[in-house]
Amino acid sequence: RVELAFGDRESTMRQKGEPSLALNIVRETGSNSLLVARELREVVRELNAGPLATRGLQLEIAYIESGYI
């Protein structure tokens, strides 16, 4: 489940000079890396086209493990 909400800032992150948020998504042991990466890309597309776009936000995948398989 994904929920858009606010919390207290504990650190600062910037990417390309803009304030950013870093998420570290880790696959479960034994899961298929390629399938997880494909599903993650699809979720990012859906979020960017819908709830994030309406708020002027965008997710960007900076690194994905499956590129090295």
C-alpha to C-alpha distance for 48 and 42, rounded to whole angstroms: 10
- Between the CA atoms of 28, 34, 35 and 37, what dihedral angle is there, to the nearest 10 degrees? 80
Contact 26, 19 (CB under 8 A): no
Joined together, the tokens standing for residue 43 give 């979720």
Please tell me what DSSP assigns to residue 28. P
Give per-residue pLDDT as tens, 25-49. Answer: 878 889 888 898 899 999 999 999 9
Q: What is the pLDDT of residue 47?
A: 92
Q: What is the pLDDT of residue 44?
A: 93
pTM above 0.75, yes or no: no
